[in-house]
Amino acid sequence: MIVLPVDAPYLRILRLLRDQGPVSRAELGDRLDLTRPRLLAEVDRLVAAGLIAEAGLAASRGGRRSTLVELHPGLRFAAVDLGASSIDVEVVNGRLEPLAAYQEPADIRSGPKVILQRVGELLAKAKIDGAYERLDGVGIGVPGPVSFRDGVPVSPPIMPGWDRYPVREVLAHEHGCPAVVDNDVNIMAIGERHGGVAHSVDDFLFVKIGTGIGCGIHLAGSVYRGVDGCAGDIGHIQVDAAGPVCSCGNTGCLEAIFSGSALARDALAAARSGDSPALAERLAAATRAESPAKPLLITARDVADGAAEGDVTCIKLIRDGGRRVGGVLATLVSFANPSMIVIGGGLAQLGHVLLAEIRSVVYRRSLPLATGNLPVVLSELGGRAGVTGAAVLASDAAFEQAA
């Protein structure tokens, strides 16, 4: 196997066909600025390697019709997005179109052996269902810091047992293909850049607000991960020195004050105290429906529904959280001057009440020069941002190690 330079013509051809679909040989040469002999040599190599195939004749450009080429129709990539409480798995073709998809609840605290075994079982089911014969690459995102170079999680606060676990090595060995591991927010940013609202944007921030909070930093067309893979870990920025203790051991972190678990905590308290009639009603209904041994929970969906009904406390919970997030993002806007901010993750379901508060704080607390042309928008891909980004990384890993 050889590792190609990131700007190798070989790699540029594969990415263009992945992102654009079938292209004629003549158009490939024009778009990649390659001489005809060089282009033919590169295409012949890719055909011989089984990575691309001919796809008929292109429309005439005035002379002899050129041959269309496309990614080989047999290419298959596995995309995995692990959340704190969920597993999302897709098998996609060379164009990253899903052929099989599975989603189920899971507790990341179960440890790497349990979770990765379940991922393997889901991929085996996809194989039995006919989605693939063999995989050409696997991409996976995990909810914690990752050494992208080494393919391992590093001291993830909510992932006991995962520290330095050889995730990439295990997946590559199990599936016999290249594997790549990244932070879940980074893969969401990559997914949104590939097929979402940030498709044509080179410099943007993707903010995931879910069980935890993180930020994918996309600068100059690439994800910025930092020296040790910790860039964008904004959930552990302190916003209230007197705030609650965070999972990282510090106090008053953004994540401890507003995240999926923090919102559930505060919403349950509002339901029990009667401060929120809407949440109290939902809690009473849940109490009647659930077994006594099962813990009673109020979810972000309950808060969103309560806010839609005009419940003042629900609206206040969302706005307070949006104000906290907006304050942190205003600092990042002053520092990085992005051209877009995308809000995603499970709490994006709180919708425009949350988005409006974040926008208000960012626009109010950042310099006008930095916000004059700064859209703050919801993710277009929603729950598929993570698996889409994982598929992009899986295909890149396969292309870069092409024989």
Could you tell me if 226 and 367 lie in one domain? yes
Looking at the structure, tell me whether residues 239 and 350 fall in a common domain.
yes
Name every residue whose Cβ is closer than 8 Å to that of residue 128 and which is 6 or more positions away in sequence. Answer: none
Structural domain boundaries, residue 114: 77-192+385-400
> Is the same domain home to 58 and 119?
no
Asked if residue 290 is part of any domain, the answer here is yes
Examine the domain organization and report whether 334 and 242 are in the same domain.
yes
Question: Does residue 252 sit in the same domain as residue 308?
Answer: yes
Longest dimension (CA), the chain: 78
Shared domain for 245 and 339, answered yes or no, is yes
Alpha carbon distances (Å) from 65 to 16, 22, 52, 59, 71: 21, 15, 19, 6, 20
Residue 173 within any structural domain of the chain: yes
Helix (H) or strand (E) holding 222: strand 222-224
On whether both 94 and 65 belong to a single domain, the answer is no
Torsion angle, alpha carbons of 253, 254, 258, 260, to 10: -80
Pairing state between β 152-153 and 179-183: unpaired
pLDDT of residue 1: 35
Number of domains in the chain: 3
In a domain, residue 317? The reply is yes
Kindly state whether residue 14 falls inside one of the protein's structural domains: yes
299 & 237 share domain: yes
Sign of the Cα pseudo-torsion (124, 126, 129, 135, in order): negative
Contacts of the segment 94-98: beta carbons below 8 A, 24+ positions apart: 94/17, 94/18, 94/70, 94/395, 95/18, 95/21, 95/71, 96/18, 96/194, 96/195, 96/388, 96/391, 96/392, 96/395, 98/387
Give the pLDDT score at 28: 87
Per DSSP, 348 falls in state G
For residue 136, the model assigns a pLDDT of 97
**188-199 pLDDT, tens digit each:** 999 999 999 999
Say whether both 117 and 217 belong to one domain.
no
- Under a CB-based contact definition with an 8 Å cutoff, are residues 185 and 206 in contact? yes
Distance CA(200)–CA(147), nearest Å, equals 28
Domain match, 108 and 242 both: no
> Within a domain: residue 291?
yes
Backbone angles phi, psi at 387, to 5 degrees: -65, -30
**Structural domain includes residue 329:** yes
From first to last of its 403 residues, the chain has per-residue pLDDT tens of 334 445 688 899 999 999 999 998 888 888 888 888 888 898 988 999 899 998 877 665 555 667 899 999 999 999 999 999 999 999 999 999 999 999 999 999 999 999 999 999 999 999 999 999 999 999 999 999 999 999 999 999 889 999 999 999 999 999 999 999 999 999 999 999 999 999 999 999 999 999 889 999 999 999 999 988 889 999 999 999 999 999 889 999 999 999 999 999 999 999 999 999 999 999 988 777 665 545 557 889 999 999 999 999 999 999 999 999 999 999 999 999 999 999 999 999 999 999 999 999 999 999 899 998 999 999 999 999 999 999 999 999 999 887 5
Domain boundary among the residues 71, 100, 123 is at: 71
Which of 46, 71, 96 is at the close of a domain?
71
Distance CA 85, CA 160 (A): 14
Task: Write the single-letter amino acid at 108.
Answer: I
Place of tokens 């109010």: 364
Q: What are residue 212's DSSP bridge partners?
A: none
Element holding 280 (H helix, E strand): helix 277-289
Does residue 3 form part of some domain? no
Predicted local distance difference test score (pLDDT) of residue 64 = 66
| In a shared domain, residues 52 and 88 | no
Six-digit token string for 91: 């098998």
For residues 316 and 354, what is the distance between their CA atoms, to the nearest angstrom? Answer: 10
Output the DSSP codes for 294-330: SPP---HHHHHHHHHTT-HHHHHHHHHHHHHHHHHHH
What pTM was computed for the model? 0.91
Exposed, middle or buried: residue 219 (CB in 10 Å: 0-12, 13-18, 19+)? middle
CA 51 to chain centre: 26
Rounded to the nearest integer, the mean pLDDT of the chain is: 92
CATH of residue 248? 3.30.420.40
Please indicate, yes or no, if residue 352 is contained in any of the structural domains.
yes
13 and 62 in one domain? Answer: yes
DSSP secondary structure code for residue 3 in this structure: P
